[in-house]
Amino acid sequence: MTIPIKDPRRKRELLKLLQKLGLADLSAVNWSLLNLALTHPSISSTDNYQQLEFIGDAVVRLASAELLLEIYPHLPVGEFAAIRSILVSDRFLAEIAEQYGFEMYLSMTPNVRVDKYGQVSRLADAFEAVLGALYESTKNMDLVRPWLDPILAEKATQVHADPARQNYKDALQEWSQKKYKLLPTYKVQQNEVRDNENERFMAEVWLKNQLLGKGKGATKKASQQAAAKDAFYQVVADSTSRNQESSEINKIS
């Protein structure tokens, strides 16, 4: 399943994109796969980026996990998950794709091109598909990590340095979805008696009938993030209580 490049202009276009990414050795690139990765389903319902996107979605998860383990070998698992959930998010991947002008290289019909609402989604999909094509070209990370690592590392460092950016809510959601096929729910209350503004809201996070964690914050959102972080440390990361907690949840679900 590939799309051979017949038009020499297309090959030059794709070459330009890879040079922008900063790939030094292009001899290993499978150009037909790369062309497929940059073909939107509106062009062909069978030969398009959708299958490679599945590969790429796993490639970016793997590259992120490897990088995080290399730069933060002792990071608690909750922070690891919180940072990775940002690195693999559609929003961040679309942002990278936009910076490299992927929109220009993606074959799509004119009515799709003008659809601004779908842009983040299609940029993220195409970006993942390109990662898939590059991985499949060599069956390892040789064409991926050399240029992607610095981008992921910069974002990871930003997120790690500023705890408010760490998205414990997303990470907790990913965890509960994986383990129990359920999403956590949040209950937020105004805190009438408080010492300072950072305790204005109190949030609880629940999974079915199980209280996972509690948190306070100056805003509703901040209190939810604090509760999600608490949940991570209570249930997910805390090694001793871990099995009892998961047993509880197994019993009720």
CB 16 to a copy of itself: min, Å: 26
Q: Which of 3, 18, 79, 84 binds a copy of itself (CB under 8 A)?
A: 84
Task: Determine if 253 is a binding residue for a copy of itself (CB under 8 A).
Answer: no
SS3 97: helix
Cα distances (angstroms) measured from residue 251 to each of 80, 186, 208: 28, 21, 11
Nearest by Cα to 106 from 124, 132, 83: 124
Contact call for residue 229 and a copy of itself (CB under 8 A): no
Q: What is the largest CA-CA distance in the chain?
A: 71
Smaller CB separation from a copy of itself, 9 or 181: 181
Place of tokens 């490897």: 66
Q: Confirm or reject binding of residue 158 to a copy of itself (CB under 8 A).
A: no
Closest listed residue to residue 168, CA positions, set 210, 216, 230, 238: 230
Q: Candidates 174, 200, 222, 233: give the one binding a copy of itself (CB under 8 A).
A: 174
Q: Are 103 and 123 in contact (CB under 8 A)?
A: yes
Task: Please identify which of the residues 53, 79, 125, 128 carries the catalytic annotation.
Answer: 128
Amino acid, res. 71: I
**Is 57 among the residues known to form the active site?**
yes
Sign of the CA dihedral with 119 first, then 124, 49, and 24 last: positive
Q: Which of residues 50-69 bind a copy of itself (CB under 8 A)?
A: 50-51, 54-55, 57-59, 61-62, 64-66, 68-69
Q: Angle between the 168-180 and 77-87 helix axes, to the nearest 10 degrees?
A: 100
Which two structure tokens, joined as six digits, stand for 185? 């729910």
Q: Which one of 17-25, 113-121, 187-195, 196-204 is the stretch in contact with a copy of itself (CB under 8 A)? A: 113-121
Residue 142 annotated to the active site? no
Which residues contact a copy of itself (rule: CB under 8 A)? 1, 40-42, 44-46, 48, 50-51, 54-55, 57-59, 61-62, 64-66, 68-69, 73-75, 77, 80-81, 84, 90, 112, 115, 117-118, 121-122, 132, 135-136, 139-141, 170, 173-174, 177-179, 181-183, 237-240, 242-244, 246-247, 250-251
